[in-house]
Amino acid sequence: MTTQPKTTSTKRNRARTPNNKTTTGFRVSDKLWNVLQPLIPVHINTHRYGGGRPRVPDRDCADAIFYVMRTGCQWKALDQTDLVPGSTAHDRYQAWVEAGVFLKLWQAGVECFDDLKGIDWAWLSMDGAMTKAPLGRVRIREVTPLTGEKRGETQPVDRRTWRAHRFSGGRR
């Protein structure tokens, strides 16, 4: 008779921490939120009866938006975090961009930096280039790989290529 080892269930001795270590470091600070909150437009409920799904708080959306901006992850990757759904964060991001929230936040940051350190506005520099990239890709083929068409050339109505008409002496 073979005796099987006794399995013991291990129970957690301590409760789980409420904070996700991955996303907690990307939360908007209270100081930044105090600057950002007045810039956010007031939401008007457009539901015809004044109901609808409860709106996700703006601060939670700001946490998610700054998480995406700092990590570079995709919007749908937010679905795997404890932040807000990716579609909600992206919709709010688009609305805030349209309202100019991030431009105003940048302007407020520049003004704050000017007050703290000072910006010498008399000395400014700008750099730019309007030339072709030296290591840019050279097009070897003029013909698209899928259809065999040259640029701007379309197929005839009967779907035969132009070459068939030229070399065969007529229709087949």
CA geometry: angle 65, 67, 71, nearest 5 deg: 125
DSSP conformation class of 60 = H
List C-alpha distances in Å: 86 to 7, 43, 71, 103, 168.
42, 19, 14, 22, 58
132 vs 106: which has the higher pLDDT: 106
Model confidence pTM above 0.85: no
Q: Residue 20 — very low, low, confident or very high, per pLDDT cuts 50/70/90?
A: low
Q: Are 172 and 164 in contact (CB under 8 A)?
A: yes
The H or E element spanning position 102 is helix 101-116
pLDDT number for residue 158: 62
Q: What is the pLDDT of residue 161?
A: 57
* Domain ranges across the chain: 22-44+54-116
Q: What are the pLDDT digits (tens) for 76-97?
A: 988 888 888 999 999 999 999 9
User: Of residues 61 and 129, which shows the higher confidence score?
Assistant: 61
Rank 45-59, 78-92, 125-139 by mean pLDDT and report only the highest: 78-92
Percent of the chain whose predicted confidence (pLDDT) is above 90:
26
pLDDT over 80 (residue 102): yes
Higher pLDDT, 76 or 126: 76
Mean pLDDT of the chain, nearest integer: 76
* More confidently predicted of 132 and 4: 132
- Is 38's pLDDT higher than 80? yes
